[in-house]
Amino acid sequence: MIDLYYWTTPNGHKITLFLEEAGLPYRVHPINIGKGEQFAPEFLRISPNNRIPAIVDQEPGDAGAPVSVFESGAILLYLADKTGRFIPQNLRSRTEVLQWLFWQMGGLGPMAGQNHHFVQYAPERIPYAMERYVKETSRLYGVLNKHLADGRAFIAGADYSIADMACYPWIVPYERQQQDLAQFPYLKAWFDRIAARPATQRAYEIAKNINVAPTVDEASKKVLFGQDASSVQR
C-alpha cells in the first residue's frame, strides 16, 4: 500500500498518473497547500521541504520499515524501480528516460511555475518577468516538440515512461502559460495521446473530487508565496 500525500498541482498529478497506470493500491491524503497544511509537523516529517507530493511505501521491496519519499521526480523513480515498470532496464534506454525526467525537474517545471506566478498570481504586473517566463516556457515547448519530431510516440521512444508522466501535467495548463499547442504539432500529438489514456482520465477525475475550488484566493496567496525559513523551523 502506498500512502500518497497529495494536492491537485502538476507535481501531484505526476504521481496519480503513475499509480493509476501501474494499478498499485494507494490511499490519498489531501494536503491543502492553500490552507497551510504542508507545514504540519507530521507532514514535515515525511516531506521536510514542505512540498507535495510525498509518499510512504508501507510495503517496501526490502521487507523493512515503511519508506517515505519526497520530491516528485524521486517518487516517480522510486515507484518505477519498485514495480519494474515505466523505466527501461538497459543502460541506454534508462538514461534516455532519466535525462528527460531531470529536464522536466530542472527546466520545464520551474520555468512554467514562474510563468504561472508572474502571469497569474504576482501582486503586481512586472512586464519583464512575465515576458521572460512566457518566452522561456515557449522555448522549452520547442525543445520537446523538436525531440518528438522524429515520429516517436513518447519522449523516450515507443514506450510510455516516467519522463512522459513528469512532463504531461506541466503542459496541461498551456493556455494559462500563454502557449498555443498548434505551434507545436509534435508536442500536441504526444499530449493528445497521453490525454486519451484511461489512467490519465482517472487521475484527473481524482483531482476534481479532491479540490472543488482550485482558484487561488488572496488568503491562499499569503500562505503559498509568503513563507521564509521560519515556516519550517517552528
Instruction: Look over the chain and give the mean of its residue pLDDT values, rounded to a whole number.
Output: 93
Query: CA dihedral defined by 154, 157, 160, 162, rounded to 10 degrees?
Result: -90
Domains of the chain in sequence order: 2-85 (3.40.30.10), 91-196 (1.20.1050.10)
For strand 26-30 and strand 2-6, is the pairing parallel, antiparallel, or unpaired?
A: parallel
Does the model's pTM come out above 0.85? yes
- Measure the CA–CA gap between 174 and 28, rounded to whole angstroms: 26
The DSSP code sequence of 101-134 is HHHIIIIIHHHHHHHHIIIII-SS--HHHHHHHH
Other Cβ atoms within 10 Å of 1 Cβ, number: 11
Q: Which residue has the cell 479532491?
A: 210
pLDDT at 109: 96
- Measure the CA–CA gap between 137 and 186, rounded to whole angstroms: 16
pLDDT tens by residue, 47-101: 999 999 999 999 999 999 999 999 999 999 999 999 999 999 999 999 999 999 9
pLDDT confidence band for 215 (50 / 70 / 90): low
